[in-house]
Chain A
Amino acid sequence: MNRSPYITQAPSVTTIMLKVLLALLPGIAAYVWIFGGGILVTLTLASITALASEAILLKWRDRPIKPFLMDGSALVTAWLLALALPPLAPWWLVVVGTLFAIVIAKQLYGGLGYNPFNPAMIGYAVLLISFPAIMTKWPAPLLLAQTPLGFSDQLHFIFAGALPNGVLVDAITSATPLDYLKTQLGLHHQVQAITQAPIFGVLGGKGGEWVTGAYLLGGLYLIQQRIISWHLPSAFLAALALMAGVFYLLDPAHFANPAFHLLSGATMLCAFFIITDPISGPTTPLGKLIFAAGIGILTYLIRVYGGYPDGVAFSVLLFNIAVPLIDAYTQPRVYGHAK
């Protein structure tokens, strides 16, 4: 083979994906601590579904199975989807969502490297539209629940949908802080009064803010490892904070403060793990800033004015469509060319 360069030095695709999984671990740990071990079941379920469906699709498509299963990209999709789902999602919900993400959003577009949309977000959006009731019903953090469920109870609930005798569904679930805020604002309550409710913590949702914080930690690790570039999370968080800040300053009674938005919902997961998916994102530095800032602004608008409590999935998918355009218009100046 006659080709240079003869030397390379790069982390393999597998290494990159494994580091992303590694960076998710603090967030998962916090999740288990706050919401119980049920998430581990969901993660396992999603992982198995993802790997199995990926393998079957690869075989159908006559592609080599081993290198593509080993690349770890299916696991990343599975984990991100699982972490975006409510902690006690029934097993079939996890399976359907993962199948959609891997089969439709990834393999049917050509597999690794060819999917225009973020597969995890496709899976999430499909579930959110198809099963809105389940998707917006989150269990209260363990320390708030009237009757906290043990691990075996959670397992039972996930697979059989049944609760221990005498426990009502309403007793273990509640609206998420973002959802609650929206509903209560609709009832003409003031933000200050609403956030006195027990589900709100110091800055974000009670408990949830710890999980978000742990995601931030993992994200910083990814930036330090040069797996993701700083452009995306910074622009996303800055745009979200700016939007929240402007609205908050204009009318603090009806708009939550920026810190709440930064630490609620899927903000940090989105900033460091979802919009940083390289395949469905832009490649130019300026393009990354525009893409991420656009998602930040859109996420805020959907949270405040949209029909769904959190707008991350839809914002990401909408901007995925715009990626080729963004890339085309943000080409950096090439050496020796005038701008």
Chain B
Amino acid sequence: MLANLFKSSKLSSFNGGVHPPQHKLESTRAPISVLTIKNAQQVFVLPLRQHVGKVSKLLVNVGDHVLKGQLLANADGQMSAAVHAPTSGTIVSVQDQLIPHPSGLPDIAITLQADGEDRWVEHHAMDYRSVSKREVLERLREGGVVGLGGATFPSHVKLREEAKHPVDTLILNGAECEPFITCDDLLMRERAEEIVRGIEIMQYLLNTKECIIGIEDNKPEAAQAMRDAASKSQILIAVVVVPTVYPSGGARQLIKILTGKEAPSGKRSTDIGIQCFNVATAYTVHRLVNHGEPVISRIVTVTGKVARPGNYDVPLGLAVGELVALAGGAVENTEYIMGGPMMGFTLPSNHVPVVKAMNCIIVGKPEIFPEPPPAMPCIRCARCADACPVSLQPQELYWFAKSDNFEKARDYKLFDCIECGCCTYVCPSNIPLVQYYRYAKSEIIALDKAKQAADIARERNEFRLHRIEREKQERAQKHAQKAAGAKTESAKLEAAPADAATKAEEAKKAALAAAIERAKVQKAEIAPKNTEEVSPQIQADIAAIEARRAEAGLAEVAPQDENN
């Protein structure tokens, strides 16, 4: 049997990796506690950008009353995702608000005030086998399903069957390798059957030959629960326990461990016939398709300096501070980390809303994670290279990033860096390596964008000059014809092209003179308006521009087309 084959087959491994202290026990003692909305004044903030891709298209207005699960903003095109109301209530505002983003910058968000009734919008299950796959995908698009492992990539895009790249292997990521985070662990323990239902839908949509769930060996209960649930499924699902090593939960790393294959750099894993989803995503797919419930809540691990660390099933949009207060943690005079200690970031405020990407909140950052000692120079010990799961040379990349040598950084495959933090974790000199890579990456992306914009501008400018030149010639042509016609010697034109050319030249000159004359007239008409209020400075500017344009040979056409 295939499942047995997997158990017996040897697992592959990736380069490096680290073994940070787990800190998972604290938050796995209690079962998931589901938060229900009883308070009528409860406010929810729903950013319109909770996913990779375009900002969702707003469908509601301020003052609208909406029901729980109602579509508030739809996906804008394919690379986008929908946003729904986590409870029934009234839209009180649509404006920029602080969101959980490392930039600390505000972004557009809907604010919803609950009415306390928590009344569902009409929703229904879908028999996904009896409708077309397109319909199922459309439901996923409208249901706001995105990757819940943290990348928040719209799932309907990944579940589309593509003839060019058929997917043979469906991988479910239950590795959860980051310290502190246990939301997937608890989800697998408690809702294994529902995850399997979701996997069945994914398997059906992609028509894959095999399904593998990868779980780190520090989660034996979750693995057992998944095994039990998988054995009851009609499709073949293999549960594979992988060794605990950070970052085995990186999609590409997990693919390598489970299949021995590597997803090609800069491309999708579907190029090698593999698609990878987080187990929590499978769960939301099941809830949406089999129950009609869009993504309006997620499981968040709340841990660190809190009285009741654990996992909470939280409606999206709830302020993080309120969630932490429920778990018995401080809201003021402390800082929270969103995500784990290896890849997470410090929240810009403790009142930002819970979003789809939020898998974990670690309370008490300053107390738990003291500032590292000052950085020393790199001693080229190459511990970072030994730890890098993508076999980069972090010490070289650091050097290039630090000196703004971006081309070199790109040559040394900066963009294959997954920012997992292993290099910084093992650095004896305490150099914030990942920070340098993030800096270099965003600079390079900005430079590339500027370059693209410059290329477009150059093209448009050249096109414009070309157009002006063409129009000039066309006018010259017209004048030449008129001139030739007046002389009634059109035959001569054909017989003596050289002569015609000089004629054309003359005609062109005449046209130019005429154009300039007209321009002057027009200028004169407009000039008074222009000079009435402008300062001498602007006048000087106008003169300068005119001079430049004259130099470029543009002046004569200036007002020509105005009434054409």
Q: Which residues of A are in contact with B by a Cβ distance under 8 Å?
A: 1-13, 15-16, 67, 71, 73, 111-114, 229, 278-279, 281, 283-284, 327, 331-337
Contact = CB atoms under 8 A, between A and B. Distances in A.
Interface residues of B, number: 61
Interface stretch (B69-77, B389-397, B475-483): B389-397
A80 to B, nearest CB: 15
Contact of B379 (A1, A229, A278, A331): A278
Most chain B beta-carbon neighbours within 10 Å: one of A3, A5, A337: A5
A8 B378 contact: no
A331 B342 contact: no
Contact of A13 (B265, B346, B389, B429): B429
A16 B381 contact: yes
A10 B428 contact: yes
A110 to B, nearest CB: 8
Given A7-B179, A112-B379, A331 B430 contact: no
B341 A6 contact: yes
A8 B435 CA distance: 14
Contacts of A229: 382
Contacts of A111: 377
A10 B434 contact: no
A159 B564 CA distance: 102
18 contacts: A3-B435, A4-B337, A4-B342, A4-B345, A5-B434, A7-B179, A8-B424, A8-B425, A8-B426, A10-B427, A113-B377, A278-B381, A283-B382, A283-B393, A283-B395, A334-B392, A335-B390, A336-B262
A207 B382 CA distance: 36
B93 interface: no
B252 interface: yes
Contacts of B435: 3
Given A7-B341, A284-B385, A336 B416 contact: yes
B412 interface: yes
Nearest to B374: A67
Interface in B362-391: 365, 368-369, 371-374, 376-383, 385, 389-391
B432 interface: yes
Given A8-B372, A9-B20, A114-B377, A336 B428 contact: no
Contacts of A114: 377
Q: Per DSSP, are chain A's interface residues mostly helix, strand or loop, or mixed?
A: loop
Among B104, B256, B339, B391, max chain A CB count under 10 A is at B391
B380 A279 contact: yes
A112 B14 CA distance: 32
B413 interface: yes
Interface of B: 14-15, 18, 20-21, 102, 104, 179, 252, 256, 262-267, 337, 339, 341-346, 365, 368-369, 371-374, 376-383, 385, 389-393, 395-396, 412-413, 416, 421, 424-430, 432, 434-435
Contacts of B416: 334-337
A337 B415 CA distance: 12
Contacts of A284: 382, 385, 393
Given A8-B427, A336-B390, A113 B379 contact: yes
A332 B434 CA distance: 20
Contacts of B392: 334
B390 A2 contact: no
B252 A336 contact: yes
A281 B259 CA distance: 36
A7 B430 CA distance: 10
Given A8-B427, A334-B413, 8 more contacts: A2-B345, A4-B339, A11-B428, A13-B379, A67-B376, A113-B376, A284-B393, A334-B416
A61 to B, nearest CB: 13
A114 B385 CA distance: 19
A229 B343 CA distance: 28
A327 B427 CA distance: 20
A118 B391 CA distance: 27
Given A5-B434, A6-B344, A281 B390 contact: no
A5 B371 contact: no
A8 B432 CA distance: 10
Nearest to B423: A5
Given A5-B421, A336-B265, A13 B428 contact: yes
B382 A7 contact: no
